[in-house]
């Protein structure tokens, strides 16, 4: 499964680096590095919804504060 | 391949002086590049005025094809006479380089130009003549690719006199040091920085005289194409990209959407990384055929900051350490400062509505200001800039 985080200007200012760092930690902590691929991408044109994160093409709006929640609810749910 | 002249210059002010009594004037036209270094008598305001007048008069007259005699006559008759010394005096060096590799050097009382070819010193075939009672040295010669020419004020060869060295740096030692340094430095900007640092060290960081070094290196033309910002009219995307891809210039894309446009038009993939070299700047990406792909405004803001520092402040090794960082901002600045003679900008005028967010630290619609700042800085560095807006 592939998770793509937007690293464009707008999302960067809304904290995409923190989201990336947290996701990297959560993934390695859950020993899911071989199942989850974390990628960056440039602006997806959805700046208003930033930080834009896509799981296999489906768009989510994530903030640094709710990254754990997003990981638990969306990422782990899909893996089950 | 056509040649071009990579020029950089720096001055150290005499200790405690607010103004520099040396002045460098750089003129680039289609027909030649003219570099002038004038050193006004005394220091401070008076010297600054003398040097400025001298360099400006020489530059303007040379540019318009006046003969050396006319130039010297004009200077002698124009410069204000010093009340104390009853003379009007400013030394000068003029170096003119033509695209066909002809070079013309004129010197009046400045230390001789250091001419380095293949890391070795070459002596120049000077001729002397007297104009208006002044002994002027001139020579005509041919330059080759990778030649390096250094003009300087006498503060350079006197560096350290009476402090760290009995007789100062001296021309011979300075010239040998410079020849050695050309092995380690490729750009004129780094060579100037190395030489100025040496002077400053010899002066124990309190220069006893205004000290100026101007370096001209003969290099092949290095065009760079920079594409930033999506065109207002989407129908123009393909045209802009085709213009951007023309020729063998280095190609930089600065802007996520801009990168997406190029990828779409050329059917290429963008490979982004999540490697945050600098937390303040989004990571760079790669694309086949591109030398650099970065995010837009945040990256360019950093680039412009570095360029302004380079143009306006004395640059030291710390500056180059930062320029060598692998964040997008430093990477673009490094290419523009050190690896570019002609910059061609392709600027799209679309403003991202989502950026108009009061929660952001600044207005992201500043792309236009950034572009204007970059053009200004590049021109101050003596580089050629053209821009196309879409």
pLDDT 10s digits, B21-46: 999 999 888 788 999 999 998 888 98
Please give the model's pTM, rounded to 2 decimal places. 0.75
Contacts (Cβ under 8 Å, ≥6 apart) of B376: none
- In this predicted structure, what is the pLDDT of residue B148? 96
Tokens of B327: 């964040």
Mean pLDDT (10-residue bins), chain B, 390 residues? 82 91 88 92 88 93 87 84 72 92 93 95 93 89 94 93 86 95 86 93 92 93 93 93 94 94 95 89 94 93 94 82 94 94 92 66 70 93 90
Q: How many angstroms separate the first and last alpha carbons of chain B?
A: 31
- In this predicted structure, what is the pLDDT of residue B89? 79
Selected for mutation to probe chain B from A40, A45, A49, A61 (highest B CB count within 10 Å) is: A40
- In this predicted structure, what is the pLDDT of residue B63? 85
- In this predicted structure, what is the pLDDT of residue B273? 85
CATH number at residue A44: 3.40.30.10
Rounded to a whole number of angstroms, the distance from the CA of A12 to the nearest CA of chain B is: 7
Q: How many domains does chain A have?
A: 1
**Do residue B295 and residue A39 have CB atoms under 8 angstroms apart?**
no
pLDDT in single tens digits along all 80 residues of chain A: 889 999 988 889 889 999 999 999 999 998 988 888 888 888 888 888 879 999 988 899 999 999 999 999 888 888 77
Q: Where are the beta strands (DSSP E) in B48-155?
A: 90-97, 102-108, 114-117, 120-121, 127-131, 134-142, 148-152
Domains of chain B in sequence order: 3-220 (3.60.40.10), 223-389 (no CATH)
**Do residue B256 and residue A39 have CB atoms under 8 angstroms apart?**
no
- In this predicted structure, what is the pLDDT of residue B102? 93
- In this predicted structure, what is the pLDDT of residue B358? 61
- In this predicted structure, what is the pLDDT of residue B117? 95
C-alpha–C-alpha distance, residues B311 and A45, integer Å: 36
- In this predicted structure, what is the pLDDT of residue A9? 86
Quote the ipTM score.
0.79
C-alpha–C-alpha distance, residues B17 and B44, integer Å: 6
Per CB-CB distance under 8 Å, the chain B contacts of A12 are: 282, 295, 298
Selected for mutation to probe chain A from B354, B359, B362 (highest A CB count within 10 Å) is: B354
| Residue A61 belongs to domain spanning | 2-79
């Amino acid at each position: 499964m592939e998770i793509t985080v937007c690293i464009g200007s707008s999302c960067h200012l809304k904290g995409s680096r923190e989201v990336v760092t947290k996701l990297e930690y959560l993934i390695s902590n859950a020993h899911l590095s071989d199942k989850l691929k974390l990628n960056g991408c440039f602006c997806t044109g959805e700046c208003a919804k930033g930080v834009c994160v896509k799981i296999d093409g489906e768009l989510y709006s994530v903030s640094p504060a709710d990254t754990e929640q997003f990981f638990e609810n969306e990422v782990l749910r899909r893996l089950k | 391949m056509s040649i071009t002249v990579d020029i950089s210059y720096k001055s150290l002010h005499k200790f405690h002086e607010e103004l520099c009594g040396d002045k460098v004037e750089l003129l680039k036209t289609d027909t030649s590049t003219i570099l002038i270094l004038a050193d006004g008598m005394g220091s401070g305001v008076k010297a600054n005025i003398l040097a400025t007048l001298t360099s400006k008069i020489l530059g303007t007259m040379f540019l318009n094809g006046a003969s050396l005699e006319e130039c010297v006559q004009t200077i002698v008759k124009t410069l204000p006479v010093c009340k104390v010394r009853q003379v009007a005096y400013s030394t000068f060096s003029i170096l003119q380089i033509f695209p066909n590799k002809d070079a013309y050097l004129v010197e009046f009382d400045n230390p001789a130009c250091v001419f380095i070819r293949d890391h070795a010193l070459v002596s120049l075939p000077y001729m002397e003549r007297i104009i208006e009672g002044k002994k002027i040295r001139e020579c005509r010669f041919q330059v080759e690719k990778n030649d390096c020419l250094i003009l300087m004020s006498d503060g350079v060869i006197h560096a350290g006199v009476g402090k760290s060295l009995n007789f100062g740096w001296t021309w011979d030692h300075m010239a040998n040091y410079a020849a050695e340094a050309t092995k380690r430095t490729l750009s004129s900007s780094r060579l100037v920085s190395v030489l100025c640092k040496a002077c400053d060290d010899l002066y124990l960081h309190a220069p006893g005289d205004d000290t100026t070094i101007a370096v001209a290196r003969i290099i092949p033309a290095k065009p760079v194409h920079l594409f930033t910002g999506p065109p207002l009219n989407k129908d123009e995307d393909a045209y802009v990209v085709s213009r951007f891809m023309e020729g063998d210039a280095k190609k930089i894309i600065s802007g996520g959407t801009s990168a997406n446009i190029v990828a779409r038009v050329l059917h290429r993939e963008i490979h982004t990384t999540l490697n945050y070299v600098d937390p303040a700047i989004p990571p760079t990406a790669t694309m086949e055929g591109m030398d650099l792909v970065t995010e837009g405004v945040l990256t360019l803001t950093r680039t412009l900051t570095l360029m302004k520092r380079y143009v306006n402040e004395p640059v030291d090794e710390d500056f180059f350490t930062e320029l060598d960082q692998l964040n997008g901002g430093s990477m673009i600045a490094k290419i523009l400062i050190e690896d570019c003679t002609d910059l061609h900008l392709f600027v799209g005028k679309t403003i991202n509505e989502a950026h108009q967010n009061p929660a952001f630290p600044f207005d992201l619609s500043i792309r236009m200001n950034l572009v204007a700042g970059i053009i200004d800085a590049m021109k101050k560095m003596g580089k050629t800039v053209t821009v196309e807006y879409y």
